[in-house]
Amino acid sequence: MTFSISHVERDGAGACLRLTGELDLSTAPELSAAIDRLTAAGETRVLLDLTDLTFCDSTGMAVFVRGDNRAAAEGGWLRLTGASGRVERVLRVTGLAEVLRYEPEAVDPASRSAS
């Protein structure tokens, strides 16, 4: 399955990116660049919707951590939501579910707090 990123409408509460397909060594740079563009544009709260993400390797997980670090340096955050199956299992096993405040249910970015 091809990896893609779609931007979900934002309303000033942060940016939401919906990831689809497989996030791995060959596709991770695409997500990293998308996060970089958002933070460079002043967006410091980024929600990644993983509902349609079918696979994520360690390279993808590293992009999540890097994105959170970049957002945090600007006073914001990167959060994850909507993962299932193997992707959710890897988030929990690695401890990233706690670090990135993963929420199993996909949430509306407008309902997110800055904490």
Give yes or no for residue 25 having a pLDDT over 80. Answer: yes
pTM for the model: 0.86
Mean per-residue pLDDT of the chain: 88
**What does the domain layout of the chain look like in residue ranges?**
4-108
Residue of 33, 84, 91, 81 whose CA lies nearest to 61: 91
Quick one: which H or E segment has residue 86?
A: helix 85-94
pLDDT of 102 reads: 87
> In this structure, what are the phi and psi dihedrals at residue 62, rounded to the nearest 5 degrees?
-65, -35
For domain 4-108, give the fold.
Transcription Regulator spoIIAA (3.30.750)
In the predicted model, what is the mean pLDDT of residues 16-29?
96
Q: pLDDT tens digits for 50-102?
A: 999 999 999 999 999 999 999 999 999 999 999 999 999 999 999 999 999 88
What does the alpha-carbon distance between residue 80 and residue 106 come to, in Å, rounded to a whole number? 9
